[in-house]
Structure 1
Amino acid sequence: MDYTKDYQSKLVTADKAASLVNSGDVIDYAWAGQTPVAIDAALAKRAGELKDVTVMGGVLLSAPEIFNADPEGDAFIWKTWHAGGADRNRINKTQGGFYAPLRYSELPRWYRENIRHINVAYVVATPMDKHGYFNIGLNASHLKAAAEIADVVVVEINEKLPVALGGVENVLHISEVDYIVEGDNPEIKELPAGSFSDVDRKVAELIVGEMVDGSCIQLGIGGMPNAVGSLIAESDLKDLGVHTEMLVDAFADLSNAGKITGAKKNIDRFRQTYAFAAGTKKLYDFIDNNPECMAATVGYTNDARVIAQLDNFVSINNAVNVDLFGQVSSESSGYKHISGAGGQLDFVLGAYLSKGGKSFICLSSTFHNKKTAQDESRIVLSFEEGSIITAARPNTHYIVTEHGLFNCKGKSTWERAEGIIGLAAPEFRDDLIKQAEKAGIWRNSNRR
């Protein structure tokens, strides 16, 4: 069937697409590298005439123009499910940005069952194929769900967007689209290639030592996951699989190094399964029309029941702080917002349910406080007021710093106190012991 006439009838300018928004509307701005660009610039020009428009999106790779046009959030209220740098600035520095606490895996269902209605959904997509489909799989995540419940769906075409294969809610058909904007085809926004420190490398060495041939891995974002990827590439490990929330450059590197085959995966064999991808052009080129990569909704990738089906699952995620009870804080430092719950709890639970699976929460033992010009411990008795607990203590499996790793499962409070203090920097351990004694979670028989 020829969809050319249908396509032409739906073609509009970015200004027309932006005119669809009214004060008080709820609109969706897609995700990461598929946040609109031409439409965003056009909508920003309307900042002075709009009021209280809720804009939903997340993992921004740069600040959208609507932020610059409306710095205080009078016109556009940013509602995000997970924070990149631009989201974080909007939340911490203005009254125009707020985080919505949610396990990332719930997002497609939450759209369909709880929102049920948004006024306009904007999403960057590939050019239409001969079957009438626009590919949105670089960040399949929840975008199909957003389109399903939107009054109006607008796609902004970008020829630079990779075609992400997979087949699990990674496309929109022209019959589901109301308007089409042919954008200026800018390069897809990149997440800079990550670097890692000696501390990251020490943590990675401990984790890689716990992996086996055929392990199925999930990597979060940051230096430590990059270090893990680098060490795996240098190791003798083979036939690794990938099932992850976020696809990053490390997976492309590992595949090119021959470490990833997916041959041992119990489900989705030979495929790198992911919900969204953010990285450098190297990653986007790797994904483009690559049958090895499987774009899927986050309701699938992050479902603990799905993760549990994959033997020897290894989940690797970062934290801001860990307390002596084994609670994990990964979203804020006090009241300062940093990230979001994302899929951390989903993967902590799913990895532990996997046969042979292991979940690792990683952090450096210390950080340098610029305000006090002193090093402080990331291992604490209790969190700073306002800090958010991402993984509750019954769920925590392995905690890892450059000083070792500790399995929290089945450990009493005093056993946890001893084990977790052993992960702290030596100069902080005596004080942590005194705090543990005062809190009643230290035994005289414990080592010092």
Structure 2
Amino acid sequence: MDFTQEYKQKLVTADEAVKTVRSGDWVDYGWCTNTAESLDKALAKRTDELTDVNVRGGILFKLPAIFEREDAGEHFTWNSWHMSGVERHLINRGCAYYAPIRYSELPRYYRDSATPSRVAMFQVAPMDAHGYFNFGPSASHLGAMCERAEVIIVEVNENMPRCLGGTECGIHISDVTYIVEGENPPIGELGAGGPATDVDKTVAKLIVDEIPNGACLQLGIGGMPNAVGSLIAESDLKDLGVHTEMYVDAFVDIAKAGKINGSKKQIDRFRQTYAFGAGTKKMYDYMDDNPELMSAPVDYTNDIRSISAIDNFISINNAVDLDLFGQVNAETAGIKHISGAGGQLDFVLGAYLSNGGKSFICCSSTFKTKDGQLKSRILPTLNPGSVVTDTRANIHYLVTEYGKVNLKGLSTWQKAEAIISVAHPDFRDELIKEAEKMHIWRRSNK
């Protein structure tokens, strides 16, 4: 049987495909850009027939159709590996919950889990001549997910970029249960936010000054990493490499500026390696059929052994807030959920183990509340309910607009002094008083 015949045999409508979903099932919607679209709409039509359907996914660009009804939570529950604003809204409605896990552990979790998803449905690129459906920018954990799923439904989207890689970047038609030809919507876009602020630019310059020629980059999402990318693109740096969890627009700008060639990488030389990508159409067009890029599963990209094998690894990530002990929170505001653990800790650890490597946690020293109050992101202790993403033993460099400090190996009083030195001046005296109360301030300190 040739693949064309097999394709025809497995081709069904979205309505037919979702009939396989049963009450009580665990259903996987894929990840980020792969999130089901036509299949989601079809499943929403079955809402009244179904109860207790647990849906897995993460980084939603828009509200799934299954949650458009006010009573959706009586039928479906969203279980997220990493939150977007859409998912935070669903938390407030009582329809969604975060599943805390290091992102790098997802493939093993799917392979070993006592409750794998019975049905996996997600968007893919059109089948190639060899019978493979490419996962697009999200190799991530999808290969492992498909290994345990009883039913695999692929939703073909002609707009999905075909992202080349090494392993686990697609699925063969022989492993697919049903094929649905979707409505070909544009791939969901995730912008980098507004233009870089003066604070972003100041922090970016402090970090870029620490990057040598030949360094390998990992950037998180957000204004500050984006500002770092812009500065790198305009710099005299050369021979840079990329090995990252998330591929973002900034890498395209750096590459097109001629700064990236990967020639100094100890593994995957000349390739920009990533687990998933989310950005603008500019980025998706750049990723499509680009042999310079390498789409790979997250247990490879985020493995501390992979990261540490690359010399001069530079990891740059954000924080919500941190305390005087050096505990970094990048996930919540108290008990209010914002994001997720992702791979930040993997890169903080791996970069420090790299020969010449450095990891940077960057944030503005302050933020303003809705009523205009200025608040410090540097706290005596984290707020009740706040999550520790990076422990006090792991943080390397901390950077705010008031400077950068290397916190590795410092005793508690040294660490408190260093952290306070990059806090907003308006809050330093109060932080010193709190440090004294906690016995992490030496009276000789100025």
Q: 2:52–2:74: 8 Å Cα contact kept in structure 1?
A: yes
Distance in 1 (alpha carbons) for counterparts of 2:304 and 2:268: 15
Q: Which amino acid aligns with 2:212?
A: V
TM-score under structure 1 normalisation?
0.98
1:420 equivalent in alignment to 2:423: no
Q: Which moved more, 1:12-21 or 1:417-426?
A: 12-21
Q: C-alpha distance in 2, partners of 1:246/1:323?
A: 27
Match of 1:398 in 2: 397
Amino acid at match of 1:73: G
Matched with 2:53 is 53
**Map of 1:169 onto structure 2:** 168
Q: Is the deviation greater in 185-194 or in 24-33?
A: 185-194
The equivalent of 2:319 in structure 1 is 319
The answer for the alignment partner of 1:300 in structure 2 is 300
Residue 275 of structure 1 corresponds to 275
CA separation in 2, counterparts of 1:422 and 1:72? Answer: 49
Pairwise CA distance, 1:115: 4.0
Structure 2 gap segments, 5+ residues each: none
- Which one-letter code corresponds to 2:204 in the other structure? A
Q: Tell me the equivalent position of 2:254.
A: 254
Q: Which residue is 1:30 aligned to? A: 30
The equivalent residue for 2:333 is 333
Counterpart of 1:433 in 2: which secondary structure?
helix
Work out the CA distance in 2 between the residues paired with 1:306 and 1:259. 22
Runs of 4+ in 1 over 6 A off after TM superposition: none
TM superposition shift of 1:2? 2.5
The CA deviation at 1:137 is: 3.7
Deviation at 1:117, TM superposition (A): 3.0
3-state SS, counterpart of residue 160 of structure 1: coil
Shift of 1:373: 2.7
Indicate the residue corresponding to 2:106 in structure 1.
107
State the alpha-carbon separation in 2 of the partners of residues 225 and 169 from structure 1: 28
CA shift for structure 1 position 46: 1.5
Counterpart CA distance in 2 for 1:283 and 1:416 is 39
Identical residues among aligned pairs (%) = 61
Shift of 1:69: 2.9
Partners of 1:154 and 1:181 within 8 A in 2: yes
Question: Cα distance, 1:275 vs. partner?
Answer: 0.3
- The offset of 1:70, in angstroms, is 5.1
Question: What whole-Å deviation, never above 9, does each CA across 1:154-197 have from its counterpart, x for those lacking one?
Answer: 00000000000012200100011000000111111111243321
Do the aligned partners of residues 140 and 59 (structure 1) sit closer, same or farther apart at CA in structure 2, a change above 3 Å counting? same
* Residue pair 2:119, 2:149 contacting (<8 A) in 1 also: yes
Contact 1:313 1:354 in 2 (8 A): yes
- 1:19 is paired with a residue of what secondary structure? helix
Secondary structure of 2:155 counterpart? strand
Cα distance in structure 2, aligned partners of 1:193 and 1:99: 23
Q: Distance in 2 between matches of 1:276 and 1:85?
A: 18
Looking at structure 1, the residues matched to 70 and 307 of structure 2 have their Cα atoms a distance apart, in angstroms, of: 41
Q: What's the CA shift for 1:72?
A: 4.9
CA RMSD across the alignment: 1.1
- 1:291 corresponds in structure 2 to 291
Cα distance in structure 2, aligned partners of 1:71 and 1:300: 40
The whole-number CA distance in structure 1 between the counterparts of 2:71 and 2:331 is 24
Cα distance in 2 between the residues matched to 1:168 and 1:265: 19
**Offset from partner CA, 1:117-144 (integer Å, 9 cap, x none):** 3210011111111110000141000011
Preserved CA contact (<8 Å) 1:72 1:94? no
Q: Distance in 1 between matches of 2:294 and 2:353?
A: 23
Work out the CA distance in 2 between the residues paired with 1:197 and 1:266: 35
Scaled by the length of structure 2, the TM-score of the pair is 0.98
- The aligned counterpart of 1:81 is 81
Q: Does 1:364 align with 2:364?
A: yes
Which AA in structure 1 matches 2:108? Answer: R
Tell me how far 1:63 sits from its aligned partner.
1.5
1:383 Cα offset (Å): 1.1
Q: Please say which of residues 372-381 and 216-225 is displaced more in the overlay.
A: 372-381
CA distance in structure 2 between the aligned counterparts of 1:220 and 1:115, rounded to whole angstroms: 32
CA distance in 2 between partners of 1:327 and 1:117 (Å): 33
Q: Distance in 2 between matches of 1:72 and 1:224?
A: 37
Give the C-alpha shift of residue 49 in structure 1.
2.1
In the aligned structure 2, how far is the partner of 1:410 from the partner of 1:207? 20
Determine the structure 1 residue equivalent to 2:159.
Answer: 160
1:265 and 1:310 in contact (8 A); partners too = yes
